[in-house]
Amino acid sequence: MRLSLTAICFAIVALGCWDYPLPALPLTAALIVYAAVLWRWPAIFLVIWPIVIPALDLGLWTGWMVVGESDFFVLITLAVLLLRAPPRPDDLLPALWPRAVLLLLVAAYAVSTIIGLASPLGYTGHSDNPFLRPDNALRLAKAVVEALALLPFIRRRQRTHHDAVSLFAYGMAAGLMAVTVEVLAERLLFASILDTSTAYRVAGPFSSMRVGGGHIGAYTALALPFTLCLFQFRPRWVGTVLAPLACLAGAYTLAVTFARTGYAAGTAAMAITGLGGLWIATRRRMRWAAIGIVPVVLMLATLAGVADFTGMYHRFADSETDLSTREQNWWAGLAVRDRDISTALFGMGLGSYQRTMLSRSPVNRPSDLVLDRDAAGPYVSMRVETPFYLGQKITVPDNGPWHLTFWSRSPDGLVASALICDKVLLYSDNCQSADTASAIPNQWTTLHATIPTTGLGRWALFGLLRRPVELSLSGRIGHRIEVRDISLTDDSGRPMLANGDFRHGLDRWIFTDDSHVSWRMLSQYLMLWFETGILGLTAFATLTGLALAGGLRALRGGAVTGAAVAGAIAGFMISGLFDNVLEAPRLATLFFLVCWCGLIQWDETPRCQN
């Protein structure tokens, strides 16, 4: 059985690498190295995983939404550990109360996934927008499945060495520092590291924010408490240096999200963890641990300082307007929900919100994207209900302008608009546009444009970093637009675009949307109520409650990691008050892994993990 599962995991990874839209050699080499390291040190996955999940995301370049690089690392982890360090049968079954909570969670996700897959809402045809397909339920359920698959191996390590949570904490702190490096690069390219006069909100490595969302802020609030666990690192002086450094890195990342809820979540998470560490220090008379409060003070001072700057001042000034927008979003979502007993118990189905809004709502209707085909080959059809863009990251030529050619068709005789901008995800800068013209309705029209490259793709950091540049196509809101055979070349005729004929599906193409209210209910708890009903809300509440209690139980036994788990869960729950933070599978997987760290505390007598 183990050999069969291992073979399946390796086969899926091999197939994924073969079909990878970017050069597969670097990813394949990284997976091989990881497999070798994991075979030598099986527990290393507890450190590597919290780094890979948040920091490794090339979705903006691959165009992949359903599968990501971190999924390959999951499969490699399972394949190697099944052979090298398989769990015992009792590792599959946690203690009584955690077992009951996990069964409830599995039941809630299984039922809501089946309902979501079977839901008839949406188009009668097909869609290539993952949010508008029934299998969106599988995309969201993947987070629980991956986290559950790793749970037996986490419990095995905790049973044999009692250090699983500590290793995971080190990984979370390292992951936060890796994300901060990416955030620093983004700020350096599009604002400046210390410029807070404008609220340039970073996205970092979270391609899931292509339709908005506060995923990076929620992640930072989740990871920040684990920075204090570095004080227990050996040798002690290394931890004393690393902990404040990691905390300040996280504080900076949180600050430049300019997210009000994120500030509250991060502050609460660190306050809980800092007070827990201080209580342990006082109780055990460990003087060194008392300095754990220093990073908390530094982080709060950083956030307080940023709150006084112009960019954040405007964010706070807009709070009343944004709350009104959220209330309208909540009511619009609840208005299209069924009101029968079955829906109250089990919800409308996991991943069904966007399809329900498309089918029933007069407002906040999401745009759609369909890959179709005729005698001339494949083409993309976009139904534009919002500021919706189909784009691809491109390389700026060494000299000379770009030459853009594509075919466009519309029932209304409109031609697609083309933009080339400096862009990571949320903001566009230094845009160059192609001329558009009217055409004959329902007939393909060729657009030719010469686009200057002056100022695009600016270099920074002595030529080590360069602004990413994106070609985007869009249409007029309320209309349908179709495009095909997109070609972008430099003066020498060298192609600058990949898969412009869509013969490889939507590989390398991503869509973004400026209307964030069209894709979610801006509250995790209302979203759970909408899609999973009472069963899902109950499962989530009991899971977080028991995991938080497990963290406090470990804290009572003298483990700083217990305080970090409690703080992280509390911070994540606050993050979900005004956003749907579980909609990003990678972020949801990390959250469930943090919950497992709380649940396994019920497997044993509380003990100090310092």
**pLDDT tens, position by position, 540-565:** 999 999 999 999 999 988 888 999 99
Query: Which residue bears the tokens 């788990």?
Result: 565
Cis upstream peptide for 362 (omega within 30°)? no
| Beta bridge partners of residue 405, listed in sequence order | 448, 487
CA-to-CA separations, 431 to 406, 422, 472, in angstroms, rounded: 19, 7, 10
CA-to-CA separations, 183 to 26, 193, 262, 375, 566, in angstroms, rounded: 22, 9, 16, 45, 26
DSSP codes, 541-573: HHHHHHHHHHHHHHHHTT-HHHHHHHHHHHHHH
User: Based on the number of CB atoms within 10 Å of its own CB, is 425 exposed (0-12), middle (13-18) or buried (19 or more)?
Assistant: buried
Helix intervals (H) in 259-309 = 260-284, 293-307
Give the model's pLDDT for residue 433.
86
Give the model's pLDDT for residue 442.
86
Rounded CA-CA distance 254/258 in Å is 7
Give the model's pLDDT for residue 299.
65
Give the model's pLDDT for residue 303.
62
Rg (CA), the chain: 25
Give the model's pLDDT for residue 581.
95
pTM of the model: 0.94
Neighbours of 73 (CB within 10 A): 25
Give the model's pLDDT for residue 309.
59
Give the model's pLDDT for residue 80.
96
Q: What's the token pair of residue 43?
A: 């527990």
Under-70 pLDDT residues of the chain: 123-125, 196-197, 237, 284-318, 435-438, 604-610
Length of the chain: 610
Q: Are 253 and 182 in contact (CB under 8 A)?
A: no
Give the model's pLDDT for residue 609.
47
